[in-house]
Amino acid sequence: MGFELMQNFDQPYTARSIGEFWRRWHISLSTWFRDYLYIPLGGNRVSYSRRLFNILFVFLISGLWHGASWAFIIWGGLHGFYQIAAQLWNRVFPPHASLENTWYKQLWDVLTTFALVTFAWIFFRAKSAHDAILVIKKLFLTPSYSHPNLAINSNELIVCLALIVILLCKERYYLTIPTTNSWKFATLLSMLIFSCYFLGVFDHSQFIYFQF
């Protein structure tokens, strides 16, 4: 349509570290916090301990920015803790290039990063820190059953998987999407309009950062 917007997400769930995740996730917001908070605090041009403090402080503020709730602050603090722990680990145990380039090490890094990010999402999504702790207790302390109750049914699971495939294809082929007055563009635009009509929410609206 002629609009040029910065890339805001770059397959963040394929990141191999929390630092790389934040270079891929919500890039516009991460860039803003870097330029207007982290760098004015001294960024990397200060002592090592002060740099770790800057990282934790910025993530705590980013949590508070998302909402006035302890759950958001804990979410931001977790990501700050992840970053600090990773830097301390790499300082004590420097990574070996020969191991870092192996497929199994890369897969391990992606899965570990995904697990850490997903765990932190519990606090982001919960209505309160108390609710988040209850969810964590259910995850790790509740005995497993042979037939657990899933949060979604089989049809919803199929739709979710289909959407994941569509998003993966989009990330791979979005640069080839035509943006000129062609039949392909008209078809895609019509599909977008119908999707908004059938899947959109029009009965009410709520500011996404209503707690801020």
Our measurement of the distance from residue 52's CA atom to the centroid of its chain's CA atoms, rounded to an integer in Å, reads 21
Q: What is the pLDDT of residue 27?
A: 95
Specify the pTM.
0.77
In a domain, 210, yes or no: no
| High-pLDDT (> 90) share of the chain, % | 49
Distinct helix (H) and strand (E) counts, the chain: 9, 0
Domain match, 101 and 187 both: no
Domain match, 191 and 99 both: no
- Among candidate residues 185, 184, 172, 167, the one with its CA nearest the CA of residue 2: 185
In a domain, 205, yes or no: no
Domain count, the chain: 2
CA dist 19 and 82 (Å) reads: 9
In a domain, 133, yes or no: yes
User: How would residue 22 be classed by pLDDT, with cut points 50, 70 and 90?
Assistant: very high
In a domain, 160, yes or no: yes
In this structure, of 20-29, 93-102, 161-170, 174-183, the range with the lowest mean pLDDT score is 174-183
| Terminal CA-CA length for the chain | 33
Domain match, 187 and 138 both: no
Q: What is the pLDDT of residue 73?
A: 95
Q: What is the mean predicted confidence (pLDDT) over 139-152?
A: 67
User: What amino acid positions are annotated as catalytic residues?
Assistant: 66
**Which pair of tokens denotes residue 125?**
């999504």
Please determine, for residue 193, whether its predicted confidence score (pLDDT) is greater than 80.
yes
Please determine, for residue 14, whether its predicted confidence score (pLDDT) is greater than 70.
yes
Please determine, for residue 122, whether its predicted confidence score (pLDDT) is greater than 90.
yes
Q: Which domain holds residue 194?
A: 153-200
- Mean pLDDT rounded to a whole number for the chain: 86
Contacts of residue 211, defined as CB under 8 A and 6 or more positions apart, other chains included, come to 67, 68, 69, 72
Reduced 3-state DSSP string for 7-46: CCCCCHHHCCCHHHHHHHCCHHHHHHHHHHHHCCCCCCCC
Domain match, 164 and 83 both: no
Q: What is the pLDDT of residue 70?
A: 94
User: How would residue 6 be classed by pLDDT, with cut points 50, 70 and 90?
Assistant: confident
User: How would residue 148 be classed by pLDDT, with cut points 50, 70 and 90?
Assistant: low
